[in-house]
Structures are given as structure tokens and as C-alpha cells.
Amino acid sequence: MPRQRFWFYAKCYGWGWGYPSCWQGWAVFEVAVVLVAVLRLLFPFHEYPGFSGLSLFVVAAGVLVIMGLKGERPNNWHGGP
């Protein structure tokens, strides 16, 4: 049976995910960066502080959900050397 290819591997130290491991993971980050940039241009923070903060939270939460679904499961805290 072939090994599942993760878009994000678990970090070596700490808990969570590291850098993307394939083009799909990098595409997720690129789309998130473009979304944040477009939302900041359309809704400047000084004019729409609530919506600007909420939109940043939603984009970050979306990235974390995708990392949870397509990433390797981070089991335990990995201590340093």
C-alpha cells in the first residue's frame, strides 16, 4: 500500500506543522497571503477594524483547518536537543 503524501509534516520540535512539503501546501499559503492582501486593500484596518480583524482570523482559521485535514497528525510535543 502506498504511503499517504501529506501536504504538511509535523514539526521536529514543538507541536504543529512545519513548512509545506508539496506544491499543494505552498498553494494554500499563497492563496491565504493573496486573500489577506486583497482584504486589507478593500477594507483598510483604520476604516473597518472589526471586519479587518475578523477576516484575518477567518483566513488563518481556514489555513489551520486545511493543515489539520491534509497534514500529518502532530502527536506529542517534541522537545529540543
Closest CA to 36 of 64, 59, 66, 53: 59
For 7, residues 6+ apart whose C-beta sits below 8 A from its C-beta are: 20, 21, 22, 24, 25, 28, 66, 67, 70, 71
Average pLDDT per block of 10 residues along the chain, 81 residues long: 74 84 94 94 88 91 94 75 59
**pLDDT of 3:** 58
